[in-house]
Structure 1
Amino acid sequence: MPSLSANERSTPVIQAELFMQMEQMQQELQALRNLVEQQGNTIQRMQTDQRNRYLDLDQRLQDQTQRLNALEEADPPVLLPTPTSAQRQEQQQVAQDQNRSARDAYAEAYALVPERRFDEAITAFNRFILDFPESRLVGNGYYWIGEIYMAQNRTQDAERMFDIVVRNHPDSFKVADSKYKLGLIYARYGDQRRARDMMRAIIADHPQEPAAALARAYLERQS
């Protein structure tokens, strides 16, 4: 039987090595495809979460606009001045003018939020709070700063703003919403017990507020 040359003997070895290299390359390619798919899914989830956050913020902006309009319509009427009450009417007019100026400053800050000019909005709300500390809209100003911080993932800063609304402005109609946001923040921290306690408190203390419906939905998802 004739002997094989060195080149002829190495051909099967070379073919086997090439086959193994091709198998390895296919495995590596599949691993890369899996990694790309996982990253794509992660990016899609992040985009969806961000979009939902902005949709929630936009809805709350619309609700805020309606409530602000209601506040403006509820202003006390200006009494017609009479010769016997001129000084009193003048004082009332000054107070009303100051209130209207506060609303204007608040509206200017608020208008920056739907335009996504968040840093400018924070500055404007802080200036409004400083200039009109007695305004009934101060609690709203703190609330919207907190909402902006949430959109920017500045969770601790947002928690501080919502806590200010709850503790220092109990008459603000953003109290229930602030409590709901605090509940979500506690959940983000991993403190589910505290988050559920806050949601139950919202339902008990503010049963007619939209935040109560959100709190009920949250508790149902956790059950």
Structure 2
Amino acid sequence: MNSNKIMRQFALVLLVGAATQVVAAPASAANLQTLERMLEAQGQSQLQVQRQLDQMSADIDNIRGKVERNSYDIKQMKERQRQLYNDVDKLSRQPVKAVPTAKEATKAPVEAYSKNMSENDAYQNAVNLILKKKDYQGAIQAFETFLTTYPNSVYKPNASYWLGQLHFSQNDLVKAAKNFEVVVSIKDSSKRADALLKLGVIAERNNDTVKAMSYYTEVEKEYPNSTSAKHAQSALVNLSKH
């Protein structure tokens, strides 16, 4: 390291200076002891500097490791979120199946939900019911419980959107619309454009053409470069033909 080189040069200067003094004066035990003490002090100083540099290097490596771990965790979280979007979107595009009766629903196995979970764990539990276990009825209950327990959560827009998608896939358009409206009310939600589009689809299924066109137009106006806007434009073209 540069610091080691500087320290060695400094030690050499001291050594030369001390040697000059010894040559200029008669050699004596006192002179030799002085020179030894100077060299020992120089060695201790250099050792201390080296230890400080080693500690700084270790601290930098530790910080770098934490940054790399955080980057990996963020990447994994984004990948899970992307997969979740795809799975729920595919689910919403499947043919509508008959909605189970209340009696049948109570017979279906439901994933246990702990109210002692932290906010993050509770949200992840609901997500896993969709991604890993394909337990959509259990996911509905988990997301509803989550929103009741954490009404002001940062995950509220996403949780409401997934509830809307899940209810939409079961053809429960009233509950689906209710949850999509929650997402639309949150202006900075990344799923707001998709929620507006889904509200347009629901209005269209309810034969409310005017309302459907209003939602589609809003998507085009507020999110002109989005994928949702392209779908909204196609829907408007189809409606104008009728």
How far 1:136 moved relative to its partner? 1.8
Give the distance between the partners of 2:134 and 2:238, measured in 1 at CA.
Answer: 31
The equivalent of 2:207 in structure 1 is 190
The equivalent of 2:86 in structure 1 is 62
The equivalent of 1:176 in structure 2 is 193
Task: Check if 1:162 corresponds to 2:180.
Answer: yes
The equivalent of 1:33 in structure 2 is none
Equivalent of 1:149, from 159, 162, 167? 167
The equivalent of 1:208 in structure 2 is 225
Give TM-score scaled by structure 2 length: 0.48
How far 1:105 moved relative to its partner? 2.2
1:21-170 to structure 2, matched below 5 A, reads 61-62=85-86, 101-114=118-131, 115-167=133-185, 169-170=186-187
Give the distance between the partners of 1:136 and 1:150, measured in 2 at CA.
Answer: 23
5+ residue gaps, structure 1, are 1-57, 65-100
Q: Deviations over 1:155-195 (max 9, x none)?
A: 1111111112222x222211111111100010011011211
5+ residue gaps, structure 2, are 1-81, 89-117
Amino acid at match of 1:186: A
> Is the 1:142–1:161 Cα contact (8 Å) retained in structure 2?
yes
Give the distance between the partners of 1:63 and 1:214, measured in 2 at CA.
Answer: 19
How far 1:197 moved relative to its partner? 1.4
Q: Deviations over 1:15-74 (max 9, x none)?
A: xxxxxxxxxxxxxxxxxxxxxxxxxxxxxxxxxxxxxxxxxxx9872388xxxxxxxxxx
Give the distance between the partners of 1:145 and 1:152, measured in 2 at CA.
Answer: 11
Max Rg structure:
2
Alignment: residue pair count = 130
Identity within the alignment, %: 33
Give the distance between the partners of 1:220 and 1:60, measured in 2 at CA.
Answer: 30
Q: Deviations over 1:54-101 (max 9, x none)?
A: xxxx9872388xxxxxxxxxxxxxxxxxxxxxxxxxxxxxxxxxxxx4
> Is the 1:149–1:158 Cα contact (8 Å) retained in structure 2?
yes
Give TM-score scaled by structure 1 length: 0.52
> Is the 2:84–2:130 Cα contact (8 Å) retained in structure 1?
no
- Cα RMSD of the aligned pairs, angstroms, is 2.5
Name the SS for the 1:198 alignment partner. helix
Amino acid at match of 1:170: K
Give the distance between the partners of 1:125 and 1:195, measured in 2 at CA.
Answer: 27
Give the distance between the partners of 2:215 and 2:164, measured in 1 at CA.
Answer: 17
